[in-house]
Structure 1
């Protein structure tokens, strides 16, 4: 089977990482290409058997169609060629471009959502309502999104896969709290850092793994010997192996990769009540979810995880026991099922 993925870029990001993992796995048994709109080297490792096609075209927001026409026409030429059995588009702006490019054509097209639908402004919601029904299948990350896109046929919930060392061993844990994510407003690192003012950290330290536009601002505002800002981290598994607690304080999250990865490393998860966190965590069973998005509410849950060793161990164990649903082979089979739906 000949499969093409389409994405804007292959830089550092959750959706980009998921695409890289899924494309690599599919390439073991199928012919796989990745079509993107820049000339940058992929941040994540891509198998040599995967063909990367760079469409260097002008940039611009989706609703500024004058700047998007070149991308639409380039995609349309590819779709017309009929060289792929199925095309899989990643992320909403690229989904809309592919759907427009494929109008009146017969290219089988799957679109993949990687953000919570409620995060989008009205104009984007309207554009999706008009165009998404033209796809052959849709993948989403949560039950909430599955229900929201009821107007799309052949939709499936497919979680992000874990790809790392599932060693199933006891790690040498430290009194360490992790934050892993882009330092952008939507990821809410400021909520987490402000919550620490309400916490009794004791001998716990904090590591912030990630970069972004708020890096310098946060680093300057929250100066403490207990808090380390590490920037972009390539060996994240070594931090997971040491950490006892991970915090996801996003204001909005489709499905956090860090909360999935934490399952495999016996880490207690504490999160704000995003759709993604609520999809992954059953409060007080395999993680803790704050009542709202305030630092004070998050601090209450974080203090529980810090002070109650038995609770922390229970949360980590139950999360570890649920890790099977995120293993790559299971996710791969889910993608194959969706591809077959689209082809029919």
Structure 2
């Protein structure tokens, strides 16, 4: 890969795209590539990056005049791109991609944009339709997590559109003892993650497995609402909200079951890392198909239909009541690290960048 690279994202806080960006930047620095990051929102940084990564802040406080505020954000981003001196821009998430395409007009940069979620959620938005038809086709390449996501995007003949999975970091802890009677869930506390179904399913499961607890790791706007829901279920002593923790992997590595109940996802980083650590995993087979790429249901994990509480309860019983099956799933799941290692995925990105 030739020249300098700059990553652009809204923030460096607790999200999947931010996690991928931090891992890729770390791998780029290891290879001696001049690497910068532009962050568009002021927020607490929960992901570490090497000191060699230059952080450029492009914050614009919200203004009452909404259109003027967006124009100022584009101007600020353009200045940040120039300041980075980068030859290649790598941008994450569709609305950030839109800003990057506008801010880079006439700058003669190689631009690679990346779709990180389910485009069906915002496909009918006028801003996405405009970007998809007018702006995104002018990017050098678009990176998707699944083939399913790619179908929503317009394409010019000369444009590269490729599928690249999320990377799994190399510093995952190892655990080989008897697993705890803990179910863990990791992610932002939002409606997308369907925590209420998880709590309802755990309530049924707990009736027959009183030695288990459920731990929820993450922050988000629905925290208070979800806490009240747990109180209504009278399960506040066994469903624990852990918030953000800096040593997440160390805290969950010995868990008995990992659960992801999302309505939609790209490829969940937490799911990938849970599998790689050998935590028996239950995940919804949700759009845009990321989970089914890595989970062979019944072999290295269990897939369930979206919003299917009955299937989730059955999956929890199946793992908890069959320790040999759980152990076998655990051992098979660890092999995904060979395919999705940080070095391997970073190499795919570098080949794309040229």
* Structure 1 gap segments, 5+ residues each: none
User: What does 1:1-344 correspond to in 2, within 5 Å?
Assistant: 1-28=3-30, 29-40=32-43, 42-59=45-62, 65-79=67-81, 83-123=85-125, 124-130=127-133, 131-149=135-153, 151=155, 153-166=159-172, 170-199=176-205, 200-222=208-230, 223-224=234-235, 225-274=237-286, 275-340=289-354
Q: 2:253 is paired with a residue of what secondary structure?
A: helix
Whether the aligned pair in 1 keeps the contact of 2:294 and 2:336 (CA below 8 Å) is no
Report the CA distance shift for 1:187/1:83 in structure 2 as closer, same or farther (over 3 A): same
Superposed displacement of residue 42, structure 1: 2.4
Q: Distance between the aligned counterparts of 1:125 and 1:282, measured in 2?
A: 33
State the Cα deviation string for residues 104-155 of structure 1 (Å, max 9, x = none): 4411111111111122240254134212111011111112123443626212
Superposed displacement of residue 267, structure 1: 0.8
State the Cα deviation string for residues 231-277 of structure 1 (Å, max 9, x = none): 11221112222112100001111111111001222111101121232
Q: 1:27 is paired with a residue of what secondary structure?
A: helix
Whether the aligned pair in 2 keeps the contact of 1:18 and 1:160 (CA below 8 Å) is yes
* Structure 2 gap segments, 5+ residues each: none
Whether the aligned pair in 2 keeps the contact of 1:143 and 1:279 (CA below 8 Å) is no
